[in-house]
Structure 1
């Protein structure tokens, strides 16, 4: 039975701390929320290891996905409806893409992806197109409907306006996570006037534009994003936890490949370690599963795996110092690596340079990697102008990438002078010089 236009007999609502209520009237949206693939997102945190820095950051990818859906629903139903540039036949497609855009995220998201060379967007599309409950629901809308949803998420769908709602420099994804992450971390940086931005949004063929009267609200949004990245997302303590998490996975993979006998066999990781993970295997992985293994690996025979898991589970994180990749600093890193080995501390796992980089706003650079559509303002005379040409605030940060480097190490190992006292003193002196 096709139910592309079917409504629920009664509207369903989710109470939400950010948007107050999330409204569901479409049968297909309600059924998608009930699928096991979507419910799996309850067991994947939105902010990965950030809960080890900001204790309130326990919210899930499911709550964020519902929030993105609600923002898109309000834009379409309250702002775009009836405007000639908007095609109402794309309403359900937009809502489904918004709801499912993060479906393929794995446990601890980006750290997990880096170690196993995975792409969550690829797995999002595989879930939508594969033998899944999500696909079964979408197919009831139309045989080609799952393909269209996957194309929107892949940014290859022909309707660029639909794509821009969930993937642009001012999209529903960013507008939800900035506010939601600010709420749960307890910071004030992520707040901006979303109501104002939505009221001044207007549909155009390729993307939504912002009326000139809303420019200051957009400036506030961009600065909010800038602050959230440097005060929350790239927080050095969170990055310390990510470094340890990454090293746990690297160590477990190395031990598996060298024939180590685990006391707790990592059966859920086998296909990941082999590099041939199936969709079925991938969907079994969530943060509850990973933490189960980490808790057991605290008692493994391998000293490094045992220590790293204990650090992660009990928040005994690495300390850090500033690091600048100059010739002098690189020479210092070479010397530190040598001294770590002399002290019996494996530098592959205990001496780590981590870098974070962000570009808060960019103008259009055609043909470049990660090509970004700029934010456009609709002037009172009907002219459309790129934001940084009208805003001095945005112009000041446009196209300027900020990068930060930190060197992470286990300070407690260096304080223990029961062995290799002289070497550890040399290491501490070098690290103090780096500060």
Structure 2
């Protein structure tokens, strides 16, 4: 039997808190899970710094990737023998689902922003490069690695395959909403996935939802909306991300200015130079980053030392609501006052913004244009979701943005009394605790 079609002698299962079991029958999938590149995902948290807000959020990209694979396995099991579905794409779908997050770095999106990286680019590099993952995929079929990379790049010719992993109602989102809700302990991310899977149908270029399942999809979209604002954009998590980002910026700045570290940051040098190779990328995980942050608490540079101590011991910045359209003069004044006190505003006075678009339909020419969720009506026609659902129509195309101003309240309160301190306290509302920064455990 060809390796591509080889089945395990006995089905393997992973016990999973979200899906109960993750089932593996294909030899290719089992071998991919065992590669160093996939095992590395055990050392990358799914939710970055959210564990500092929700103490249970310690789950990994590894468990999420298995979950996405399991959902896709179930979807295509329901698709078998249906019109528009080519069962020859089965293994491709499973591999793309399993490997879709392979290129995430430590602390994922925060890390990417600082070093101008793209995890999807590195996912494709791992799949196509000199890796064990690539060897296994090519052993399955010459050119198979490129096919998997194309699915993740959303350029694969069969867009139905792409839609299962990347769309507005895909296996990726269905897993992370439930998994993140479970590990953070919130109720927002729960929805009736069983119902959605039962009413999902293959079409030529995307999976659609039978109209009888519309209410389950409404619930899914509202769950996503709530998760973003109650979990993913939680202001305390954003405070930790701000400090994390400033640590990396500071370390890069010191390196570029010939600062002598007590221990040369070997693992970061390629990133500081903005020329990381695939090997450099794969060697860096969160365990390595924590090691350096631990050491940098003893550095001579006061800013790096303080920021690392804050991050490692959860001494986070406080925040107030901030409207950049109305409060830029206040920010500019605060920037100057921070400089007068000797507190570097480039590291200790930070505006952070978050925005989300819970659902949108196709808008030609716009940035990040989205394919809609389509309902399959009883007469066989397709109808865009927001045209059938009043609930979804109410939030379609509505982008919500939130701005916060972060600062070290403890350092400001310890300043010597005087007009400068008093003015800072007024601008940040620290003289009115009930209007000012919330406790960082909220």
TM-score above 0.5, yes or no: yes
1:314-361 C-alpha deviation (Å, 9 max, x unpaired): 0000000000012x4000000000000001100000000000000000
Pick one of 326, 329, 332 that aligns with 2:327: 329
For residue 370 of structure 1, what is the aligned residue in structure 2? 368
Equivalent position of 1:358 in the other structure: 356
Aligned to 1:432, the other structure's residue is in SS state coil
Counterpart of 2:297 in structure 1 is: 298
Classify the secondary structure of the residue corresponding to 1:10. strand
What is the correspondence of 1:34-73 to structure 2 with a 5 Å cutoff? 34-73=34-73
- Distance in 2, matches of 1:368 and 1:142, equals 38
Deviation at 1:397, TM superposition (A): 0.2
Please name the residue that 1:211 is paired with.
210
**Aligned residue number for residue 386 of structure 1:** 384
Q: Which runs of 5+ in 1 are unaligned?
A: none
1:420, 1:261 → 2: CA distance? 36
d(CA) in 1 for partners of 2:304, 2:424: 23
- What aligned pairs does 1:17-166 form with structure 2 within 5 A after superposition? 17-77=17-77, 79-166=78-165
CA contact (8 A) 1:135 1:146 kept: yes
Q: CA deviation at 1:2?
A: 4.6
- 8 Å Cα contact 1:343/1:420 also seen in 2: no
Aligned to 2:419: 422
CA contact (8 A) 2:200 2:209 kept: yes
Q: Deviations over 1:353-375 (max 9, x none)?
A: 00000000001112322121100
Aligned mates of 1:288, 1:203 — CA distance in 2: 41
Matched residues in 1 for 2:204 and 2:315: separation? 52
Q: Distance in 2 between matches of 1:147 and 1:383?
A: 34
1:381 Cα deviation from its structure 2 partner: 1.4
Map of 1:9 onto structure 2: 9
For 2:5, what is the secondary structure of its paired residue? coil
- What is the total number of aligned residue pairs between the two structures? 432
d(CA) in 1 for partners of 2:199 and 2:122? 35
Question: Within 2, Cα distance between the matches of 1:354 and 1:2?
Answer: 53
CA distance in 1, matches of 2:423, 2:277: 48
Shift of 1:423: 1.5
C-alpha separation in 2, matches of 1:185 and 1:174? 16
Distance of 2:234 and 2:223 partners within structure 1: 15
TM-score, normalised relative to structure 1 = 0.98
2:4 is paired with a residue of what secondary structure? coil
